Amino acid sequence: MQLGLSEAQQAIQQEARRVLASEITRERRLAWDAMPEGYDPAFWRTIAQLGWLGYAIPESAGGQGASLLDLGLLVEEWGRAAAPFGIFAAITGGLALGTLGTPAQKREWLPRLARGEKLLTLAIAELQASENPGAFRTVARRRGTTLRLSGEKRYVLQGVTADAFLVAARDGQGISAVLVPVDTSGVSVRAQKTFGKDRQSVVEFRDVTLPVTAVAGRPGEAWPRFAALRQRLAALLCADMIGGADAVLEMTTRYVCEREQFGVKLGTFQAVQQMVATMAIDLEGARHVTRQALWRLSEGLAAEREIAVAKAWTGRTYRDITLTAHQLHGGTGYVVEHELHRYAARAKEAELTFGSTEQWLEELAGVLQLVPRGRADGRPRQRRRA
């Protein structure tokens, strides 16, 4: 693995940082907080024109065909700017359809996803069930040339603005992926409040009728691909967390160098110096393990161990860096309007998404063959986020 970035990769990150600094102002972000989408149409058009929404979509489908590692470097900049999470949800939909979709579904949807004209998002997790497909209550029943879909999905990213959902449903043979347009009769979407403001939703399917061509891939065989996709998305989320943690480290370093206490700069105190140095060390470790996981995925190499290490380490690191930053900022950082508050909420939300730190530590223990896969007592584990 090449640890340093190429000139092209550095240029991509620098350009993304410049654009986001220009586009995401404090006033604009506060206005977005009151919007259901979490962004305005002008911002969405800008990032679509930059090609970010189709960055990892194949060139043959209107995207740029970037590797997962290069996509991760771009995602770092989104995290650094605490950009609307709708961007992450959009690339998630493109990756999901590229992994699970039929050729016809890809031809119809991928070019429009790449141009930002449509938004597709995943609908997998349910109340009390996210990683044990046998516990899913969402069911797709075939009736001749049609499907009847019923059930409810939770924690659906950007569900309030989605044009379609890729749904995991039991079909009597196993788990199938079903592509469901939001305007289909029987589909209802309800926004959920989250402290991370990532626009999660509850999506209900009430006896939804679809053509059998709505099934993505072979019926009953989608779960292994869903599981592989979850690992890729967890690694990408680590990249988002790295960028956010880096921004928090920068703002904290700037603050302690400017803030005076007892007539001297706060950053001259030894305890403060050690706290900031520890933040930097933890972040550097998270950066390396995340990029290693993304590189191995990009190269088609086994990465189960690396992904588990990255998600466990990075989720904890981002959370701890924001907590230390709050301690060093004092009361200032607890003002809701202060940017640190936004990063801290996002850090906790990201730590739980696609599995918490503790759950990924259990994953790693299984990879290391310390315990049977799943819970230590052999029973399957339940995750609340997918």
* Averaged pLDDT for residues 114-120: 96
The secondary structure of 198-255, three-state, reads CCEEEEEEEEEEEEHHHEECCCCECHHHHHHHHHHHHHHHHHHHHHHHHHHHHHHHHH
Site of tokens 């640190």: 340
Residue 379 clears pLDDT 60, i.e. is over it: no
Please check whether the two domains, 7-118 and 224-367, share a CATH topology.
no
Helix, strand, coil abundance in the chain, percent, nearest 5 = 55, 15, 30
Residue 383 is predicted with a pLDDT of 43
Residue 373 is predicted with a pLDDT of 56
Percentage of the chain modeled with pLDDT above 70: 95
Cβ–Cβ under 8 Å, residues 290 and 239: yes
Residue 173 clears pLDDT 90, i.e. is over it: no
Cβ–Cβ under 8 Å, residues 156 and 200: yes
Give the integer Cα–Cα distance in Å for 4 and 1. Answer: 9
Residue 287 is predicted with a pLDDT of 96
Higher pLDDT: 131 or 24? It is 24
Domain ranges of the chain: 7-118, 121-220, 224-367
Q: What is the pTM of this model?
A: 0.91
- Report the CATH fold assignment for 224-367: Butyryl-CoA Dehydrogenase, subunit A; domain 3 (1.20.140)
Cβ–Cβ under 8 Å, residues 383 and 125: yes
* Averaged pLDDT for residues 348-361: 91
Give the integer Cα–Cα distance in Å for 251 and 191. Answer: 32
Residue 377 is predicted with a pLDDT of 38
Give the integer Cα–Cα distance in Å for 86 and 161. Answer: 9
* Averaged pLDDT for residues 75-85: 95
Write out the E strands in the chain.
Answer: 120-123, 139-143, 146-157, 164-170, 175-181, 187-191, 200-211, 215-216, 260-261, 264-265
Strand partners, 40: none
Give the integer Cα–Cα distance in Å for 363 and 373. Answer: 7
Residue 337 is predicted with a pLDDT of 77
Q: May I ask the CATH class of domain 7-118?
A: mainly alpha
Residue 93 is predicted with a pLDDT of 94
CATH number listed for the domain at residues 121-220? 2.40.110.10
* Averaged pLDDT for residues 57-70: 94
* Confidence tier at 195 by pLDDT (50, 70, 90): confident
Residue 130 is predicted with a pLDDT of 67
Task: For residue 176, give both structure tokens.
Answer: 């199938």
Give the integer Cα–Cα distance in Å for 188 and 303. Answer: 37
Question: Which letter does DSSP use for residue 129 in this model?
Answer: B
Q: How many CA atoms lie within 13 A of 208 on its CB side?
A: 29
Residue 1 is predicted with a pLDDT of 66
Give the integer Cα–Cα distance in Å for 147 and 140. Answer: 6
* Confidence tier at 386 by pLDDT (50, 70, 90): very low
Residues 314-351 have pLDDT tens digits of: 999 999 999 999 999 987 777 777 889 999 999 999 99
* Confidence tier at 2 by pLDDT (50, 70, 90): low
The mean of the pLDDT values for the chain is 91
Between 44-53, 274-283, 352-361, 370-379, the lowest mean confidence (pLDDT) is in: 370-379
